[in-house]
Amino acid sequence: MLAGKKILLGVTGSIAAYKSLHLVRELTKAGACVNVVLTATAHEFVSPLTLKVFSGQPVLSSLFDPENDMAHLRLAEEADLVLIAPVSAHFIAKMAAGLADDLLSTLLLATKAPTLIAPAMDLGMWDHPAVRENISLLKKRGIQVIEPESGPLASGKEGVGRLACEQTITEAVMTLLFENHPPLSGEVVLITAGPTEEAIDPVRFISNRSSGKMGYALAEVASQWGADVTLISGPTQLSPPSGVERISVRSAAEMEKAFNLKLYASSIVIMTAAVSDYRPVSTAKQKIKKTGSVRTLDLEETPDILETRALGRDDQLVVGFAAETENLIENATKKLKNKRLDLIVANDVTLEGAGFDVETNIVHLIKRAGEATALPKMSKRLLAGKILEETLKIRTIPLPSLP
């Protein structure tokens, strides 16, 4: 996603400076060229040599480096984005005052690139009125602040002040970079999410553990990347992401109706919903009473919304999900073929940190051409970006015909 992007990463004197190594790794893995600039105090916490090895670029600190004459102007001009992570209370104050007494502060005055800062400090410092006022001044100047997180701090206290996790920072970088060139502009994306509820009687239903988080994350990222997004959602606790049209449904039949109405107009279809496979043959009009004996419930299959879709278009990209508890790749590949999908996201829901109602997921992406890519555990939001990115790539490669 970040191929061809130049990111200038400033690292200042904070105990969290060592985390800049993970950030450099994440950003370079996403394709970015990362130029690191350290302040004098950052040297106390992290080694320039390690950062040089991780980034593959020279690490600069001094305004007066004979090898890198005018580095502040060159770096300031070339950067697509400036990220300072971690930024200390001291450096925030320098930025607010507009000081320029070292390489990093000087190039901040010289750059026109969008700037993101990720503060890290002890909770008393983060709450101090001087820091609060400096932060609000920087925000007024258009600098984006990635708020610190709550948790255990280096001082041994608990509270807000920890550097945001590297995934949150990477996501903020992507969002800011794509504001001007959204990769999904012009796309009409249809996403289904959440469980369905199949009524047994007026108060009982058959459902599953789906929280809808994966589908909502996809809708949020797709909308941020410029798509026109419709989210057909079963019952969930989640609020619709801003800019997304949500159609709320309960049963598989309602989801199918809404899906078929929106299908033809969509250029990308992503079916994350955990549609109930069975429903009661009939729904009792009144609440079913206890009889004191064993009861059986007659079930019939629900329509397979993806498989039976009729009004699709040839140029449409279709992505499905497979939540499995055994033979992951084999079962998911079968579904990819039977449901005529371009991509299937397969997850073993028995793994910790994967599947229903958790913030992360561990999946394999399987394309129609057959290759399966195993992805490491990651936030559902970051995964949403990866799925969208892989889906778009399919457009650019010719597909083999279906057997």
Instruction: Examine residue 104 and tell whether it contacts ligand C5P (CB under 6 A).
Output: no
Cα distance between residue 175 and residue 283, in whole Å: 46
Cα distance between residue 174 and residue 26, in whole Å: 12
Give catalytic status of residue 208 as yes or no: yes
Q: Minimum Å distance from CB 225 to ligand C5P?
A: 21
E-assigned strands of 220-272?
228-233, 245-248, 268-271
Instruction: Examine residue 366 and tell whether it contacts ligand C5P (CB under 6 A).
Output: no
Q: Minimum Å distance from CB 376 to ligand C5P?
A: 22
Q: Which pair of tokens denotes residue 190?
A: 């249809």
Residues 6+ apart with CB under 8 A from 393: none
DSSP-derived letter for residue 273 is: -
Nearer to ligand C5P, 12 or 347 (CB): 347
Q: 363 near 347, Cβ under 8 Å?
A: yes
Alpha carbon of 202 to those of 195, 252, 283, 284, 287: distances in Å?
18, 17, 8, 7, 6
Instruction: Examine residue 275 and tell whether it contacts ligand C5P (CB under 6 A).
Output: yes
Nearer to ligand C5P, 117 or 344 (CB): 344
Select the span of 95-103, 121-129, 197-205, 299-307 touching ligand C5P (CB under 6 A): 299-307
Instruction: Examine residue 258 and tell whether it contacts ligand C5P (CB under 6 A).
Output: no
Instruction: Examine residue 365 and tell whether it contacts ligand C5P (CB under 6 A).
Output: no
CA angle 51, 57, 62 (to 5 degrees): 75
Instruction: Examine residue 321 and tell whether it contacts ligand C5P (CB under 6 A).
Output: yes
Instruction: Examine residue 262 and tell whether it contacts ligand C5P (CB under 6 A).
Output: no
Give which of 345, 381, 351 is closest to 364, Cα–Cα: 345
Instruction: Examine residue 316 and tell whether it contacts ligand C5P (CB under 6 A).
Output: no
Instruction: Examine residue 322 and tell whether it contacts ligand C5P (CB under 6 A).
Output: yes
Give which of 380, 396, 264, 394 is closest to 341, Cα–Cα: 394
State the binding string over 238-257 for ligand C5P (x if CB under 6 A, else -).
--------------x-----
Q: Which pair of tokens denotes residue 238?
A: 């989640």
Could you tell me how many residues of this chain bind ligand C5P (CB under 6 A)?
A: 13
Cα distance between residue 203 and residue 196, in whole Å: 15
Cα distance between residue 371 and residue 400, in whole Å: 12
By CB under 6 A, name the one of 5, 162, 246, 335 that touches ligand C5P: 335
Instruction: Examine residue 8 and tell whether it contacts ligand C5P (CB under 6 A).
Output: no
Q: 321 near 214, Cβ under 8 Å?
A: yes
By CB under 6 A, name the one of 173, 227, 229, 273 that touches ligand C5P: 273
Give which of 96, 84, 93 is closest to 169, Cα–Cα: 84
Instruction: Examine residue 195 and tell whether it contacts ligand C5P (CB under 6 A).
Output: no
Select the span of 72-80, 211-219, 285-293, 302-310 touching ligand C5P (CB under 6 A): 302-310
Which DSSP helix (H) or strand (E) runs through 151? strand 149-152
By CB under 6 A, name the one of 305, 328, 346, 365 that touches ligand C5P: 305
Catalytic hit among 35, 68, 180, 208:
208
Q: Which of residues 202-231 bind ligand C5P (CB under 6 A)?
A: none
Which residues of this protein are in contact with ligand C5P, per CB under 6 A? Answer: 252, 271, 273, 275, 277, 302, 304-306, 320-322, 335
Active site residues: 208
